[in-house]
Amino acid sequence: MLTAVTCSTRDLAPGDRVVSWQRALSRTFVDVEVTVEPGRPWTGELTAERLGALQIATEEFGPGTILRGARSVTADPRTHILVRRQLEGTALLLQDGRTAELHPGSLAFHDARRPYRILLPERQRARILMVPRALLRLEERQLHALTATVVDDTGAGAAGLLLPLLDGLVDEVARATAHGREQLARTVVEILATVALEQSARPPEPALWERITASLQAQARLGDPGLTPQDIADRHAISLRYLHRLFQRHGTTVGAWVRTRRLAAAHEELARPGAAHRSIAVVAARWGFTSPAHFSRAFRETYGMSPTQWRTAAAELGPTARSGDAPGPIAPAPGLHAPLS
């Protein structure tokens, strides 16, 4: 059976809105506390439909904060899993020491059994799905690894395929027959369980970053002039879009990061006495630069001198040039896209 709940604060007196909105969210989801900044205008709009074990709600609210603290967890025994799919605006979901920054199209799980906080810096709109934790069929350690991690369709695997399908199924629930709704609800829960299982097993983003950058440090990779972002993404089983986003979050691009490391490797090699017999062109080629002229320009932009000048200076400095006291990069060189030379 499909039951619907609606709530709006638009027609309430300003002094009554927070209490009414907090009561509506607590009744629809789990017990929470709501705060808003004094003097800033806001309204809340909530629609919720319950179909058996699955609840589908749409929330428009902000700016403000939604908090499920330790006191709320103790007072309200519900232990459902909530899934926030951001539709408009942004939200920050904090739980288990992690922060998920949600933008339109991204999704994150949060567990009603433990405290969480949702920060809404602006008015936003989100769809929230709520299911009993048992339906996800995950162990507690998996649930703990799942919360407040961003899921979207930019990564490889099930999420990229299933999230658009999930949206379509949820939109179809309201139009379907009673029998059709039950089938759709079961399918939605199965999709959530599949995405949750995959996400709980995914390495945390810091570990993924370390794994990618560590693998790129090898000469065989940096020295490959045909290396492209797509090659890197394929090697680590992620999408190209997700790879670019990962590097952007670290303040760089794939091309800039690779080229800076190539230049640093060439810079170090040119200072070694054992490499004195190698021409500048050979050193450039060893580190993935197909054009000696391009290498020389990039080297000068980064280190303030040509490769030849650096080799001469390094010979005069002796061991100092190889001890870490030699001039370092002035700034990361601009990145290229494909290939990464």
Q: Are residues 220 and 260 in the same domain?
A: yes
Q: Please indicate, yes or no, if residue 107 is contained in any of the structural domains.
A: yes
Q: Please indicate, yes or no, if residue 164 is contained in any of the structural domains.
A: yes
How far is 29 from 283, CA to CA, in rounded Å?
Answer: 62
How far is 265 from 216, CA to CA, in rounded Å?
Answer: 12
Q: Are residues 90 and 218 in the same domain?
A: no
Q: Are residues 79 and 166 in the same domain?
A: yes
What's CA 59's distance to the chain center, in Å? 22
The burial of 16, by beta-carbon neighbours within 10 Å (0-12 exposed, 13-18 middle, 19 or more buried), is given as: exposed
Q: Are residues 298 and 213 in the same domain?
A: yes
Asked if residue 87 has pLDDT above 80, the reply is yes
CATH of the domain at 117: 2.60.120.10
Q: Please indicate, yes or no, if residue 307 is contained in any of the structural domains.
A: yes
How far is 18 from 155, CA to CA, in rounded Å?
Answer: 38
Q: What is the pLDDT of residue 292?
A: 94
Q: Are residues 75 and 212 in the same domain?
A: no
Sheet holding 116-120, edge to edge: 33-35, 64-68, 116-120, 91-95, 98-102
How many C-beta atoms lie closer than 10 Å to residue 125's C-beta? 16
The residues, any chain, with a CB within 8 Å of residue 252's CB and separated by 6 or more, are: 332, 335
Q: What is the pLDDT of residue 156?
A: 58
Asked if residue 180 has pLDDT above 50, the reply is yes
CATH of the domain at 274: 1.10.10.60
How many C-beta atoms lie closer than 10 Å to residue 169's C-beta? 17
Element holding 33 (H helix, E strand): strand 33-35
Report for 165-179, 252-266, 313-327: range of highest mean pLDDT:
252-266
By the 8 A CB rule, do 188 and 52 touch? no
Q: What is the pLDDT of residue 330?
A: 39
Q: Are residues 222 and 196 in the same domain?
A: no
Q: Of 182, 201, 220, which marks where a domain is finished?
A: 201
Q: Please indicate, yes or no, if residue 289 is contained in any of the structural domains.
A: yes
Helix/strand/coil for 45: strand
Give the model confidence (pLDDT) of 269-322 as tens digits. Answer: 999 999 999 999 999 999 999 999 999 999 999 999 999 999 999 998 877 665
Domain of residue 232: give its range: 205-322
How far is 287 from 266, CA to CA, in rounded Å?
Answer: 6
Q: Please indicate, yes or no, if residue 332 is contained in any of the structural domains.
A: no
Q: pLDDT band at residue 335, thresholds of 50, 70 and 90?
A: very low
153 compared with 224, residue with greater pLDDT: 224
Q: Please indicate, yes or no, if residue 106 is contained in any of the structural domains.
A: yes
Q: pLDDT band at residue 155, thresholds of 50, 70 and 90?
A: low
Q: pLDDT band at residue 182, thresholds of 50, 70 and 90?
A: confident
Q: What is the pLDDT of residue 148?
A: 92
Q: What is the pLDDT of residue 312?
A: 94
Q: Are residues 181 and 43 in the same domain?
A: yes
By the 8 A CB rule, do 113 and 157 touch? no
Average pLDDT, the chain: 88
Q: Of 201, 216, 233, which marks where a domain is finished?
A: 201
Helix/strand/coil for 186: helix
Q: Are residues 193 and 227 in the same domain?
A: no
Q: Please indicate, yes or no, if residue 330 is contained in any of the structural domains.
A: no
Q: Which DSSP symbol is given to 148?
A: T
Q: Which DSSP symbol is given to 318?
A: G
Q: What is the pLDDT of residue 321?
A: 62
How far is 159 from 90, CA to CA, in rounded Å?
Answer: 20
Q: What is the pLDDT of residue 179?
A: 80
Q: Are residues 70 and 29 in the same domain?
A: yes
Give the model confidence (pLDDT) of 108-139 as tens digits. Answer: 999 999 999 999 999 999 999 999 999 999 99
By the 8 A CB rule, do 232 and 275 touch? no
What average pLDDT score do residues 62-68 get?
96
Q: Are residues 166 and 276 in the same domain?
A: no
Q: Are residues 237 and 262 in the same domain?
A: yes
How many C-beta atoms lie closer than 10 Å to residue 94's C-beta? 17
How far is 63 from 164, CA to CA, in rounded Å?
Answer: 27
How far is 287 from 333, CA to CA, in rounded Å?
Answer: 15
Q: What is the pLDDT of residue 285?
A: 95
Q: Of 201, 217, 250, which marks where a domain is finished?
A: 201
Q: pLDDT band at residue 332, thresholds of 50, 70 and 90?
A: very low
The burial of 91, by beta-carbon neighbours within 10 Å (0-12 exposed, 13-18 middle, 19 or more buried), is given as: buried
Q: pLDDT band at residue 174, thresholds of 50, 70 and 90?
A: confident
Q: What is the pLDDT of residue 97?
A: 83
What average pLDDT score do residues 320-337 get?
46
Tokens of 56: 């589908």
Q: Please indicate, yes or no, if residue 328 is contained in any of the structural domains.
A: no
Total domains in the fold of the chain: 2
How far is 238 from 277, CA to CA, in rounded Å?
Answer: 41
Q: What is the pLDDT of residue 6?
A: 86
Q: Where are the beta strands (DSSP E) in 178-283?
A: none
Report for 62-71, 165-174, 213-222: range of highest mean pLDDT:
62-71
Q: Are residues 308 and 186 in the same domain?
A: no
